[in-house]
Amino acid sequence: MAHEIKIPSVGESITSATLGTWHKAEGEYVKAGDVLLTIETDKISTELESDRDGILHHLAAVGDELAIGAPVASIEEGDAPAAPAGETPAAAPAESSATSTAAPAANAEVKATPVAKKIAADEGIDLARVSGTGAGGKITKADVLDAAADHTASPQQAAATPAPETAASSAPSASSAAPGLLLAEPAPAPASSANRTTRKKMSPLRRKIATHLVNAQHEAALLTTFNEVDMTAIMALRKRVQEDFVARHGVKLGFMSFFIKAVVDALQAVPNVNAQIEGDEIIENHFYDIGVAVGTDKGLMVPVIRDCERKSFAAIEKDIIEYAGKARDGKIALGDLQGGVFTITNGGIYGSLLSTPILNPPQSGILGMHSIQQRPVALDGQVVIRPMMYLALTYDHRIVDGKEAVTFLVRVKETLENPERLMLG
């Protein structure tokens, strides 16, 4: 008896999902609990598992967009098929055996996501040689792709490239040219048009990001104001308490928890930045759930740290680490991304010196952090070198006036430059 696997509901506003990856082959015998496939929506990725033993049949191909509730696979229940009597598996070629036996066998022991294991098996990557960047050192898809990119070109590719001597020998020599004529270099062979571009379908997440950002610019009156913060006090405080903080809480004290606490303080001081427009009404929020932008190989995600006004620095740091790991592994849930009242994005980790971040509607403000740079500043009538960071606040001018925006950003700056009062509550 065949049992259908259908696309599950993953959120009220989501009506379809795209088949991202098959983890089990057509006709393969699977067991209950095996991960069969990964589906991608405009917000998250979800792995679907088998709920029974049987033979898997694919009902859709990678890249297909399927409605919620549509069948994507079927499982023909039964025991694993036995090999015909007297038959033994054919010996694989020596080259493929090194890939299909040794590498997968070793890969089965390594802590990695199902997608990472599949790509490693397809590419012949030994996961034991790959460093994991996921939660707890787990190897992610991005880690395997980076490792695959490091492989050198195959002998066939090298052989297909003409040697310099061959190309040179085909050109006429200077002695055979007509006197007084300057020989031009032979024109390079035109590149194949098939190799000049690559076309691929946008993922649901990338489409959603694109639509979201364009809508934000069209529907809100965006304006950005800038300031800079002297990071000397925070860096000194972190250095003093870091060892005790790690010993007590098991996580490092990072910069982001300071910024989240400073933003909460500023939102309490300037409530309009913690409000949003809905139709012809203004909704004032009296809670402080702060979104923290996290870059992944699938795009930008903004998980939300809940109740930041009540959480300790350690609790916030643990939430950030957990969300970052879930986002990289494609395990983040739809609820993790919803309900934020304000967003913080840190382009500084990529080297950005200054930027104008775009709002995350329906929020009315977003704070951009940037690189910390040693710069000369005037202090008490003298020029001194300080670790400085530019801050950028983009806000919706329909609801937040310029005075309020500047007051908010100055409050953030002053709080960060006097961090002791944050840690003292």
- Count of beta carbons in the 10 Å neighbourhood of residue 144: 26
Distances (CA, A) of 180 to 172, 174, 176, 194: 15, 10, 12, 41
Q: What is the pLDDT of residue 73?
A: 93
- Domains of the chain in start order, with CATH, are 2-77 (2.40.50.100), 97-149 (4.10.320.10), 204-423 (3.30.559.10)
Q: How far apart are CA 103 and CA 113, in angstroms?
A: 16
Distances (CA, A) of 20 to 39, 121, 128, 217, 352: 5, 17, 26, 30, 32
CB neighbours of 33 closer than 8 A, spacing ≥ 6? 49, 50
Instruction: Name the burial class of residue 237, with classes exposed (0-12), middle (13-18) and buried (19+) by CB atoms within 10 angstroms of its CB.
Output: middle
Q: How far apart are CA 147 and CA 181, in angstroms?
A: 51
Q: What is the pLDDT of residue 43?
A: 65
- Residue ranges in the chain modelled with pLDDT below 70: 11-13, 42-43, 82-109, 114-115, 118, 134-136, 141-142, 148-194, 204-205, 425
Pairing of strands 65-67, 16-22: antiparallel
Cis, bond preceding 204 (omega within 30 deg of 0): no
Q: What is the pLDDT of residue 224?
A: 97
Secondary structure (DSSP) of 281-313? EEEEP-S--EEE-EEETTEEE--EE--TTTS-H
Q: What is the pLDDT of residue 424?
A: 74
Q: How far apart are CA 179 and CA 270, in angstroms?
A: 83
The pLDDT tens digits of the residues spanning 323-372 come to 988 887 878 887 898 899 999 999 999 999 999 999 988 999 999 999 99
Reduced to 3 states (helix: H, G, I; strand: E, B; else coil), residue 407 is helix
Q: What is the pLDDT of residue 403?
A: 97
Residue type, 248: R
Confidence (pTM): 0.62
- The tokens 């898997």 sit on which residue? 56
Active site residues: 397, 401
Among residues of the chain, what percentage have pLDDT more than 70? 78
Q: What is the pLDDT of residue 179?
A: 45
Measured N-to-C along each axis, helices 255-269 and 232-249 cross at an angle, to the nearest 10 degrees, of 110
Q: Are 326 and 378 in contact (CB under 8 A)?
A: no
Distances (CA, A) of 404 to 221, 249, 291, 344, 366: 15, 37, 21, 18, 14
Q: What is the pLDDT of residue 93?
A: 42
End-to-end CA distance of the chain: 63
Q: Are 371 and 226 in contact (CB under 8 A)?
A: no
Measured N-to-C along each axis, helices 255-269 and 313-328 cross at an angle, to the nearest 10 degrees, of 110
Instruction: Name the burial class of residue 50, with classes exposed (0-12), middle (13-18) and buried (19+) by CB atoms within 10 angstroms of its CB.
Output: buried
Q: What is the pLDDT of residue 185?
A: 55
